Structure 1
Amino acid sequence: MRKKAIIYLHIGYWTLVYIQVLLVGVGTGVLGTYFDWKLFTGIVMPVKFLQMACSILFFYMNYLLLIPFFLKKGNIFKYLSALIAVILILTPLYYVTEQHVYPLLGWKSYELDLDFSSALMVTISSCFIHIFLGLLLSYLMDWRTIRTEKELAEKEQLKTELAFLKSQINPHFLFNTINDIYALSQQQSEQAPGALLKLSELLRYMLRESDGTYVPLAKEIAYLENVIELQKIGQKGFSYVNFRVDGEPAGQMIAPLILINFLENAFKHGVFTQEQEPIEILVHIDKNAMYFHIENKINTFKKDKTGGIGLANVKRRLALIYPKKHELLIEEKKATFIVDLKINLT
């Protein structure tokens, strides 16, 4: 809550207290048997305002000075001593206003003259509720501050963790691609310019466009297509991937680089160099949901020692970004690795 809002709440509270005091005064018949507007505005309103001003003075002395400087620092004795001192200081003020100031305005709170001991008892009784309110508000504000700081810390931790997880995208693919493009340029291949363009688009997406929490789904799909095309170049054309998109991705947003781990996993541990056993990928968009399906034949002869963090990475990111808004099923069936992912994009 902003400071301005807190100030407005304080002003609103004391305004309501003032209105309540005025209504009580009218209800108890201080104006006599009929309502006298002149008497109300000329005497009752200023007198009640002065009475409330004493309460406000005590409340904020306790709330802003005594509680933070003594009580919250663990010195209860000093706090109680200071509280008694403030009450003793306010008692003469209350006594003077009751005996000398209010009569000048035409107001007398008591039929008999008020002595100092009576003034002290009245001051203590009127201050008691404000002592309690000051303590309650002070510790409530502390609780609110602690909760806000905790939420900010959790958000920063989440942000840091997501950035770290995103940075774990496998760099080996990029290094291999650069080497492949270099080889193509050495051979003066016509594929080299196109491959270089796709790599620049891929890097631009990874380093710039994926900085936000969400990106257009169409760009995420285009990123996957570029990765597949570059992989085909690296395999000298012997890379078979059936990539299909159903539905309209325009207008839909998704967390960036959330699908690439599944594709990398298929390239690392799957068979994709045989036309009869391609990697099958389907992206289906249905209203506000996206369904992602990928399956590949498991390569039992290929062991990638650098693997192991890809799927754990994406599971963690999905849990952080789409809590209770995604369904992930990973299974093996007859030497086939299958991933089915549903994400609610709303």
Structure 2
Amino acid sequence: MNKRLFFYLHIGYWLLVLMQVLLVALGTGVLGTHFDWRLFLSIVLPVKALQIACSAMFFYINYLFLIPYVLKKGTILKYILSLVGGIIVFSPLYYLMEQIVYPLIGWKSYDMDLDLFFAFIVALGANFLNIFLGLLLSYLMDWRTIRAEKEVVEKEHLKTELAFLKSQVNPHYLFNTINDIYSLTQQQSEEAPEALLKLSEVLRYMLRESDDPYVPLANEIDYLNNVIDLQKIGQKGNSHIDFKLVGKIEHQKIAPVILINFIENAFKHGIFKNSEEPIQILVTIDKQAFHLHLRNKINVAKKDRTGGIGLVNVQRRLALIYPNRHKLLINPQTDTFVVDLKIDLYD
């Protein structure tokens, strides 16, 4: 909490206490049956303000010193003894107020003269509630501080984990793409320059935008198109991918490079050289929802028999970025692999 706001809240609290005390005093008829502004301003207000000032003084001694330095660093017994000592120290102050200061103003709280023992009882009664309010406020502030620190740690852990997952996504994709372009250059293919241009656009997107928590959906779709084009170039046109986009892209945003793993997985483990059984990618968009449906035939002779961490990573990223805002179904059938992903895009 902002220190200035905290200060204002404390001032406001004691002003409210003073107002409440004044209203109670007026309600009990201390000025008689007729309200007198002169008596109110010259007697009731100064007396009650002094009483609140004494209570506030004891409250802050307890809150700022006794609780943090005696109770929290010592024992309950030491704290109780310190409270008793504080009341004893304050008793002469209440005695002087009742016996000297108040009579000078024209106020008398009690019909009898006070002794120091009765002043101790008065001081204890005046501050009994303040002791518990100080304890309550102190431990509430401790709880709030611990919760804020925990939230900071969790956010830092989340950012670190997401960065780690991203660092695993990008090198995996780049390794495959560079291998394809290297093959094209060895064959002196005319498509090698175009592939390098597409790769530079992909890298620009990764470097400039993937660090943002959310990017325009249009940029992510362009990124997917570049990935698909690179795949087709790398396979010399012998890569059949049916990519359809339904809906209108406006100002929607999405987490960057969140879909590449599904596309890469289809390229890596799917059959894409059969024109009759292409990789099918359908993206449906509306103002607040994104839907990806991907289907590909499974290549029995997998290129990578060791498996990968791509799908595990993207599932974890989705859980971190879109908790309770996404639905992912992965259905590996006998000869077909199906991915169905729905994301709520609202902030």
TM-score (normalizing by structure 1): 0.95
The answer to whether structure 1 residue 256 and structure 2 residue 269 are counterparts is no
Determine the structure 1 residue equivalent to 2:174. 174
Q: Distance in 1 between matches of 2:178 and 2:65?
A: 66
Kindly indicate whether the alpha-carbon contact (under 8 Å) linking 1:216 and 1:254 is maintained by their aligned counterparts in 2. yes
The structure-2 alpha-carbon separation of the partners of 1:289 and 1:164, relative to structure 1 and needing over 3 Å to count, comes to same
Residues 1:200 and 2:200 aligned together: yes
Determine if the alignment matches structure 1 residue 148 to structure 2 residue 183: no
Change (3 A) 1:170 1:52: closer
Moved more, 103-112 or 265-274: 103-112
The whole-number CA distance in structure 2 between the counterparts of 1:140 and 1:236 is 67
Q: Distance in 2 between matches of 1:233 and 1:93?
A: 90
Contact 1:252-1:345 at 8 Å conserved across structures: yes
Match of 1:60 in 2: 60
Q: Name the CA distance, whole Å, in 2 between partners of 1:161 and 1:142.
A: 28
Deviation per CA, 1:258-300: give whole Å up to 9, x if none.
1111001101110112222211111111231111011111000
CA distance in 1, matches of 2:303, 2:169: 19
Structure 1, unaligned runs of 5 or more: none
Alpha-carbon shift at residue 6 of structure 1 (Å)? 2.1
Structure 1 runs (4+) deviating above 6 angstroms are none
Identical pairs, percent: 67
Residue 191 of structure 1: CA displacement? 2.5
Does the 8 A contact of 1:176 with 1:234 survive in 2? no
Name the amino acid aligned to 1:32.
Answer: G
| Correspondences of 1:59-208 after superposition (within 5 Å) | 59-169=59-169, 171-182=171-182, 184-185=184-185, 189-208=189-208
Cα distance in structure 2, aligned partners of 1:322 and 1:126? 53
Query: Quick one: which amino acid aligns to residue 319 of structure 1?
Result: A
Structure 1 position 39, deviation (Å) = 0.9
TM-score (normalised: structure 2):
0.94
Partner SS state of residue 96, structure 2: helix
Whole-Å separation in 1 of the counterparts to 2:235 and 2:74: 72
> How many Å separate the matches in 1 of 2:170 and 2:59?
61
C-alpha RMSD over aligned residues = 1.7
Mapped contact 1:262–1:311 kept (Cα < 8 A):
yes
Paired residues for 1:300-319 under 5 Å: 300-305=300-305, 307-319=307-319
2:51 is matched with which residue?
Answer: 51
Partners of 1:342 and 1:179 in 2: CA distance: 32
Q: Deviations over 1:13-67 (max 9, x none)?
A: 1111100000011011111110001111121111110011000000000010001
